[in-house]
Amino acid sequence: MRSVIPWRRNGVNVLDEFRGMENVLGRFFGEPFAEYLRTEPAAWAPRVDVEETDKEIFVTADVPGVDPKDVEVTVLDGSLIVKGEKKEEREENKKNFHRVERFTGSFYREIPLPSGTDPDKISATTTKGVLKICVPKKPEVLPKKIAVKALV
């Protein structure tokens, strides 16, 4: 039976097939092209690495082009929240044209923290577009080494 819905063919939604092409085109042309294809506004989120040692948790976020005063790091309900806004403007003047491009975008990342971290001693630094956050653990939750005694 032939479908009367123009975007359905043989019981398959043609629009779903096209949305699958977003992934293929995005992989071929890169993420900016895939962002362009999306119909809903995409949020910008920095790449984040989380590393845990016995004494602390390190969070590294890539925030190129973001002014440190536009970044906010907070702890709320056991989560580390990194949010801010990226503002960028590029201007190019040539003989035959003048172009100004602007980009603004807010970002938000929430990282759950394990119990036993010390939110009062968190430190954050930024260098060359890389935000580094150190979350120390409380001394009472640090692993304790137990000496093993040999009995004779």
The two structure tokens encoding residue 44 = 């910008």
Say if residue 25 is in the same domain as residue 72: no
pLDDT digits (tens, 9 = 90+) for 48-95: 999 988 889 999 999 888 888 989 999 988 899 999 888 878 888 888
**Amino acid (one-letter) located at 37:** L
Say if residue 32 is in the same domain as residue 83: no
Task: Check residue 7 and give its pLDDT.
Answer: 46
Name 70's bridge partners.
Answer: none
Say if residue 15 is in the same domain as residue 55: no
**CA distance linking residue 67 with residue 38, whole number of Å:** 28
**CA distance linking residue 78 with residue 65, whole number of Å:** 29
CA distances to 11, 35, 45, 63 from 135, rounded to whole Å, are 53, 33, 21, 19
Say if residue 29 is in the same domain as residue 80: no
Q: What is the pTM of this model?
A: 0.60
- 83: CATH: 2.60.40.790
